[in-house]
Structure 1
Amino acid sequence: MAPFSWIQEEEREEENSEVAQAIDSFGIVKESEQPQLATDSQSRPSPFLRQSTEVDSIPGDKLHATLSETEKAVLNPDGSVRKQFIDGELILRNSSKKHRAWDIDVHLESIESTDFSDKLSSVKELDPTEETAIPYTASGPRMLILKENIDTEATRAEETSLSLVHSDTPQDVDIEIQIENVSPVALYDVEVKRTIPESFILPDDRVYSVEEDSIVWDIGRMNVGESKTLKLSAKVLTESVGKIKSGVTSATYSAEATVSRARFERVSGSGRQFSYVNAKEDDRPGVWHCKCVFENKSSFVVALSGATVKLIGREEPILDVSDIRQDVPPEGRWDSMSKRVESDDQPSFTQEIRFSILPRVSVESTGLIELKEQNLTVLDAVLQKRYDKSRIKSYVSSKIESTITFENTGTSEINVVRILDDIPGIFETPSLDGIAIEMEGSELSDQQYRIDVVNGIQIEEKHISPDNEGHGLRITVGTSAPLGLQPGKTLIIRYPLEAPDPSPKNKMLAAPIKVDFSCERFGPVATRSVERPPRLRVVHKRRNISTGKEVFPGGKPGQYEILLMFHNNSDSALDDLALHDVVPGTFTIEESSVRSDIDGNRDASTTKESARDGTQVTWAIGRIQMDERVEVLYTIQGDPEAEYKVSDAQDFHGATFGDEVDDEPNIPEWIEAEPPTTDPVNTPEVIPDELDSDGVIEDSEDVDQDEIGTTEQSTENDVEEDLVQENISCPVCSAEVGIGSSVCQVCGISL
């Protein structure tokens, strides 16, 4: 150690004073390696430091050294670190009110997680009551681990889930919080707090305290390695589909150790101390009795750890004490044992005194650990089903295209979809190869779904087919991997159906469908049914026609009038009606007319073609309405001398016509949801005005029967108008489309 000179404060600049010379001659040395005990029995002790309780029990001023850290961390719900900030300070304070301290050295250990570049930190001087702080930062080590599990389907005892079902009924949510002390010391003042959102409903039999919008668990002390589990059950309102904040969980603590694991190894400092050697000559000349004296001229307590005194000119010390462990009180002194030295001359000595102002060290930390808030998502979806037509003919094979749309209208991802679809009994068993499933414009592979066909319809109970029991389609999408149907996206399923021989007994058929879907494998399952199932009617319409031909003699020789008749007695109009006849080769047509019993004279185009027996004439009339009669009257003129019998022209050469005309467009129709039934308890009792002798209610005189009929007719018209109105809206995006349109211009779906 370098020599140290003690100088009185008021004469510090006087280098030639007698006191300064005496100090230089004795060469007092400051040494920081004084053995003291540890500050915390639970951390690894330092042999150079004492416990603060022991230091506090010694009267006098001390040199205070403190390591203080504050941790602020944000963790993921599984306890892993998202963000961590550890801010620390090395604080040195002179507790004396009148004396300075200088040459202060602080030795630290376990600083690997801090930004200290060296284990040694030095402060040149501290004035009375002065305090200085050296800031630093750290990262990595942890004192407390906080975890949280939220489960919206705890009854399954499987993997936790964070989804809820959109419902008017509150749903159960279980929250489990785990807290563990992972530090090397005990933690104090441990408190766990959790904010409770407005959508949460707490039970009445709770075992925690509630402070405003938070619940608090006051844990207190946690020993090393100790862990605790806190449980909370609540109900959550899911009246909307927006994401629901679950609340923030946080924990606070304090500890008598640093988060970074940094600690003091030794702390030393010097003040107004003075040492010398007293040499007293014995009665016998040449014999000296020598002892070392240390004087504490300050208000500090000074800890002595060793002293070495040598006679100048000799290598071996006359006094060498290495384990003094002596505290010199303020204004106190220490005298060593006397040593006998033989020297004819006055002896000269050098001495090295190892001492330090008694340090009072402490370490402390506080922390705030917060978990990233989790959001609860809400499951909801809209299910729709449509057939591309609403009517098919009886006993005529018909094909129908079925389309199912499933739109995610919630805030939760949908990963598993299970569909149960009714197929009425007029249809054959659907071919699985014809079923196509697509999402976001891309068709799913066969590995992503499974389809099963079961006998018998599974849902509909009222509008069922008498032809057959029907089938049920069970479609599971998301079998090999999560489906990943994001909010706002749509799943579309298409498949063809064929009705080979529908009977007219199928007046009205309904094809309902329902779906179960979830986000997590073991999470809550939402169920939705189609509000308006597609409806299908089998119409029994048959063609009924009457045709005829008659030839009449004309008013001139060789002239004849020919009448062709076509009467449409069918259930509907017929398109592309054409009447045909053959004029003998020796005759020519002079005039012709077409007349309808509904429209009167009608325009018709006439074409002539050569035939084997003459000229074939065709009258293209076009559409003929239901119960309409059309007659073609034309005149032919031939050679009066030629032999021609009227009976030879009686043969009818036919009429052709196209498809039956459907006055209403054959577009998709749906069965409207039935209004809620009236509660019979609250239904007012109807009291009749008059009863006849048989107990039958007589008609009131104020009721006009014509008005009743008018009302019923108006109601029927209203229903038809409502049906037409429904038919011009796209079933997917609800955009208006023209009657008979095959493609929605908004969403592009085939109608």
Structure 2
Amino acid sequence: QDYSVSESSISWEIGRLNVGESKTLSLSPMVTTKGVDRISAGVASANFSAEAAVSRADFDRVSGSTLHMMRVDKVEDDRPGIWHCKSVFENRSSFVVTLSGVTVWLSGRDNPILDVSDLRQDVPPEGSWSSMEKRVEADTPSFTHEFRSSILPRVSVTSTGSIDLKEQELTVLDARLLKQYDKSRIKSFLSSDLEVTISIENTGSAPINVMRLLDDVPGVFEPPAESEVSIEIENTELNEEQYLIEVIDGIQLEERLVSPDSNGNSLRITVGRSAPLGLQPGKTMVLRYPLHAPDPSPGNGLLAAPIRADFGSEKFGPVATRAVARPPQLRVVHRRRNISTGKEVFPAGSAGRYEVLLMFINNSDSALDDLVLHDVVPGTFSIEKSTVRSSVDGNRDTKMDKESAPEGTHVEWRVGRIEQGERIEVTYEIQGDPESEYKVSDAQDFHGATFGDEVDEEPNVPEWLEEQSPPEPEPEPEPEPEPEPEPEPEPEPEPEPEPEPEPEPEPEPEPEGEVCPICGSEAQIGASVCIVCSYSF
């Protein structure tokens, strides 16, 4: 249906609608909003008219009387006593009158001057009818007339009306999407677990009743089971019938920061299946699930895990799409523990006295936690004293713990944290019976050291990629001004032709020597005798 636009209004000319007929007026405008506030859609009104009463009342019988006037217009001719006359019928009723016949007589005469029958002329309200002109000879003519008319047996019924529809408000779909991992680093070749938290806040003015999420799971992780995913709105967990989780082979969103271990997976989550979701403006939906990395390789660098949401107020209505502005990032770090340990036993001077040295060096990539050095002293010896010295901060006040055992006395020093490159030395003296036999080699057995994981200098907290801003369009280059035409150079004067050099005189030919006719040898110029055969010229 075509429409017309006038200033801020749109109108349709529908035309005639039969009983039971309907027409749909559709309009598909492109609306651009700068906010999420409700937008007034304006007032819609319809004006109509019909040839019937709104109450559908009808008339069984119609009767009435007319209000009319009959007159004769008389115009005198140039010659006195001659008149030009015509009869005029005026309908002053509020309805149509049908004029069927008119008869006009000149007063005192029997024969009519005008007799019209079977006229059938409809005269509308406030309308008139005029007869043809007649010529009458009289001083002052007067007339009598008679007309025959009838009322048309119909009634005009018209209804007009206006319908105003209640003004509607357009609501705006919008949401803010956040995703985070509970840590930003995992170690290569070691299985790791982390938890994913996704939150979708309804920041628009329309309720969200259906939502579809597409979530990338990097290739270092195994996809979660459906039973491990929990979805809640305002601390109320959704029924499992409300959502469907599908695992898709391969990531669908990220293209650059991907894992070389595998193609990864994507989770397609549909929320609001059995009933409308009912996520009202200002409310937040939260999804949580665990991820397990069984054996991440050191070839992994920086990984990203974006997510996208498609949502709407109606199942088959308009759909809004939002992607997470800053996807969570994850690094696979390759760190290995590297330590050096040693033990030596030295005689301490007097008989039966020995000095024991324990050594531990941290050559790892980072500090180590919870270092404990262990040793066993034979049961026939007693421990005199011990010192713990660090290459970083000197002597440490570390307590020595002792515990008796069948093989001797168990001794340990709880050193605690040891920095990268730090050397710890424990020195203690033992005293035994000088008469008893004691092999120093037996005391040189190293009984070990225990320590914890590497220490992260930076806390392993969630991290996100920086938000990518769209590139600004390059400004159009200003047109270079056209160069001014250079003045034409004046023609240089032609150089005068150089005089041609005079031809050099040809050298005169030297006289050729004579040839001896006898021997054929050439004689010198001016010679009179051949020097070969002595012939005289």
TM range (shorter): 0.5 to 0.7
Q: 1:482 aligns with which of 246, 252, 276?
A: 276
Within a 5 Å distance, the mapping from 1:87-486 to structure 2 comes to: 207-208=3-4, 210=6, 213-216=8-11, 230=25, 232-252=27-47, 367-486=161-280
Which whole-Å CA distance do the structure 1 matches of 2:356 and 2:5 have between them? Answer: 107
**DSSP 3-state at the match of 2:315:** coil
Q: Which residue is equivalent to 1:137? A: none
What is the CA-CA distance between 1:591 and the residue it aligns to? 1.7
Amino acid at match of 1:490: T
Q: Determine helix, strand or coil for the equivalent of 2:355.
A: strand
Q: Is the 2:3–2:10 contact (alpha carbons within 8 Å) kept by the matching residues of 1?
A: no
- Specify the alignment match of 2:295 in structure 1: 501
Question: 1:562 and 2:356 equivalent?
Answer: yes
For 1:663, the aligned partner's letter is E
Aligned to 2:322: 528
The answer on 1:645 being equivalent to 2:450 is: no
Query: Does the 8 Å contact 2:389/2:426 carry over to 1?
Result: yes
Q: Point out where structure 1 has 5 or more consecutive residues left out of the alignment.
A: 1-175, 177-205, 267-360, 685-751
Q: 2:335 aligns with which of 541, 544, 553?
A: 541
Deviation at 1:464, TM superposition (A): 0.8
Secondary structure, counterpart of 1:447 in structure 2: helix
Decide whether aligned partners of structure 1 residues 219 and 442 sit closer, same or farther in structure 2, where only a CA change above 3 A counts: closer
For residues 189-235 of structure 1, the C-alpha deviation after alignment (integer angstroms, 9 at most, x for no partner) is xxxxxxxxxxxxxxxxx84362x644455779988777665555533
The separation in 2 between residues aligned to 1:228 and 1:498, in whole angstroms, is 59
Based on CA coordinates, which of the two structures has the bigger radius of gyration?
A: 2
Counterpart AA for 2:430: I
Distance, in Å, in 2 between the alignment partners of 1:237 and 1:214 is 18
Checking the alignment, whether the CA contact within 8 Å between 2:187 and 2:335 is kept in structure 1 is yes
Cα deviation digits, residues 104-149 of structure 1 (max 9, x gap): xxxxxxxxxxxxxxxxxxxxxxxxxxxxxxxxxxxxxxxxxxxxxx
Whether contact under 8 Å (2:392, 2:422) holds in the other structure is: yes
Aligned residues: 385
CA contact under 8 A between 2:214 and 2:266: conserved in structure 1?
yes
Cα deviation digits, residues 224-254 of structure 1 (max 9, x gap): 7776655555332212111111111123457
User: Does the CA contact (< 8 Å) of 1:562 and 1:633 recur in 2?
Assistant: yes
CA distance in 2, matches of 1:681, 1:251: 50
* 2:367–2:455 Cα contact (<8 Å) kept: yes
Q: CA deviation at 1:506?
A: 0.6
Q: CA offsets per residue over residues 386-427 of structure 1, 9 Å max, x none?
A: 111111111111112112212211111212211111111111
RMSD of aligned C-alpha atoms?
3.0
Deviation (angstroms), 1:659: 2.2
Q: Secondary structure at the match of 1:578?
A: strand
Letter in 2 for 1:477: V
- The Cα shift of 1:490 comes to 1.8
Instruction: Tell me the residue number matched to 2:397.
Output: 603
In 2, Cα distance between the equivalents of 1:469 and 1:683?
45
The alpha carbon displacement at 1:482 in A equals 2.1
Task: Find the aligned partners of 1:581 and 1:228 in 2 and give their Cα distance.
Answer: 97
Q: Tell me, in whole angstroms, the C-alpha distance in 1 between the residues paired with 2:430 and 2:477.
A: 78
Deviation at 1:589, TM superposition (A): 1.8
In 2, Cα distance between equivalents of 1:428 and 1:651 = 45
Secondary structure of residue in 1 paired with 2:31: strand
Residue 520 of structure 1 aligns with an amino acid whose one-letter code is E
Using a 3 Å threshold, how does the CA distance of structure 1 residues 655 and 481 change in structure 2: closer, same or farther? same
Distance 2:384 2:43 in 1: 100
Tell me the percent identity: 66
* Letter aligned with residue 437 of structure 2: E
Aligned match of 1:290: none
Higher strand share: 1
Post-superposition offset of 1:257: 7.6
Alignment CA distance shift 1:381-1:644 (3 Å): same
* Range that drifts further, 630-639 or 542-551: 630-639
Deviation at 1:644, TM superposition (A): 2.6
Aligned residue identity for 1:408: N
Alpha-carbon deviations, 1:136-189, whole Å to 9, x = none? xxxxxxxxxxxxxxxxxxxxxxxxxxxxxxxxxxxxxxxx8xxxxxxxxxxxxx
Q: Could you list the per-position Cα deviations for residues 555-602 of structure 1 after superposition, in whole angstroms to 9, with x for gaps in the alignment?
A: 333221111101111112111111111222222222211100001111
| 3-state SS of paired residue (2:430) | strand
Query: What letter is aligned with 2:227?
Result: D
Deviation of 1:636 (Å): 1.7
Larger mean Cα displacement after TM superposition, 594-603 or 550-559: 550-559
Provide Cα deviations, 1:27-86, integer angstroms capped at 9, x if missing partner: xxxxxxxxxxxxxxxxxxxxxxxxxxxxxxxxxxxxxxxxxxxxxxxxxxxxxxxxxxxx
CA–CA distance in 2 between the matches of 1:454 and 1:233? 36
User: What residue in structure 1 maps to residue 74 of structure 2?
Assistant: none
**CA distance in 1: counterparts of 2:227 and 2:477, whole angstroms:** 53
- C-alpha deviation, 1:648, in angstroms: 2.7
More helix as a share of residues: 1
Q: How far does residue 517 in structure 1 lie from its aligned partner after superposition?
A: 1.3
1:246–1:600 distance in 2 versus 1, CA, 3 Å: same
d(CA) in 1 for partners of 2:399 and 2:301? 41
Whichever residue aligns with residue 45 of structure 2, its letter is S
* Cα shift at 1:258: 6.6
For residues 452-487 of structure 1, give each alpha carbon's deviation from its aligned partner in whole angstroms, at most 9, with x where no partner exists.
112111111111111111111111112222222211
Is the Cα–Cα contact under 8 Å of residues 582 and 611 in structure 1 kept in the other structure?
Answer: no
C-alpha distance in 1, partners of 2:364/2:16? 95
Decide whether aligned partners of structure 1 residues 554 and 261 sit closer, same or farther in structure 2, where only a CA change above 3 A counts: same
Contact 2:50 2:158 in 1 (8 A): yes
Quote how far apart the aligned CAs of 1:533 are: 0.9
Q: Quick check: 1:249–1:370 contact (8 Å CA) kept in 2?
A: yes
Moved more, 406-415 or 503-512: 406-415
The CA distance in 2 between the partners of 1:597 and 1:633, in whole Å, is 14
CA deviations over 1:477-501 (Å, ceiling 9, x no partner): 1222222221122222222111111
Contact 2:3/2:11 (<8 A) preserved = no
Q: Single out whichever of 477-486 and 536-545 deviates more from structure 2.
A: 477-486
Q: Taking structure 1 as reference, are residues 515 and 683 closer, same or farther at Cα in structure 2, changes over 3 Å only? A: farther
Aligned equivalents of 2:441 and 2:5: distance in 1?
113
Tell me which residue corresponds to 2:142. Answer: none
2:172 alignment partner, SS class: strand
Contact 1:419 1:514 in 2 (8 A): yes
Counterpart CA distance in 2 for 1:624 and 1:432 is 43
In structure 2, distance between residues paired with 1:531 and 1:436: 23
1:624 is aligned to 2:418:
yes
Partners of 1:682 and 1:601 in 2: CA distance? 70
After alignment, is 595-604 or 647-656 more displaced?
A: 647-656
Q: Distance in 1 between matches of 2:409 and 2:20?
A: 112
Please give the alpha-carbon distance, in whole angstroms, between the structure 2 residues aligned to 1:228 and 1:430. 52
Among 463, 468, 478, the alignment partner of 1:674 is 468
| Aligned partner letter, 2:31 | V
Q: 1:511 to 1:221 in 2, by over 3 A?
A: closer
Compute the displacement of 1:382 (Å).
1.2
User: Does the C-alpha gap of structure 1 residues 411 and 643 become closer, same or farther in structure 2, counting only changes over 3 Å?
Assistant: same
Secondary structure of 1:592's aligned partner: strand
* Equivalent of 1:634 in 417, 428, 445: 428
